[in-house]
Amino acid sequence: MNFLRGIGPLEIFLIFVIIMVVFGVGKLPEVGQGLGRGIRLFKDSLAGKEEKIDKDLTSKTTKSKK
């Protein structure tokens, strides 16, 4: 995450102000909720793929031992 090293408090504040102007104060909770839901679904899908890979690897190793 080297690209985040150059972001300071002023830049974060400016991004927040731009988001408020674009979406408005009333829509901000909905935008945050949607963003959080999207991140959660992305993490869950990655975790599911890891479990499937682990399951496939263990089944292949048990088949090769037989």
pLDDT on residue 14 = 93
Q: For residue 32, name the pLDDT band (cuts at 50, 70, 90).
A: confident
Cα 2 to Cα 20: distance, rounded to the nearest angstrom: 27
pLDDT on residue 61 = 65
Cα 24 to chain centroid distance, Å, stands at 24
Q: What angle do CA 9, 10, 15 make, to 5 degrees?
A: 100
Q: Does residue 55 lie in a domain region?
A: yes
Alpha helix positions (H), the chain: 9-23, 28-65
Instruction: Please give the structure tokens belonging to residue 26.
Output: 């009333």
What range defines the domain where residue 35 resides?
A: 27-66
Q: Does residue 4 lie in a domain region?
A: no
pLDDT on residue 65 = 55
Q: Does residue 7 lie in a domain region?
A: no
Q: Does residue 41 lie in a domain region?
A: yes
pLDDT tens for each residue of 2-28: 666 778 889 989 988 898 888 888 888
Q: Does residue 66 lie in a domain region?
A: yes
Q: State the total domains in the chain.
A: 1
Q: What angle do CA 7, 9, 15 make, to 5 degrees?
A: 75
DSSP 1: -
Q: Does residue 48 lie in a domain region?
A: yes
pLDDT tens for each residue of 41-59: 888 887 777 777 677 767 7
Q: Does residue 6 lie in a domain region?
A: no
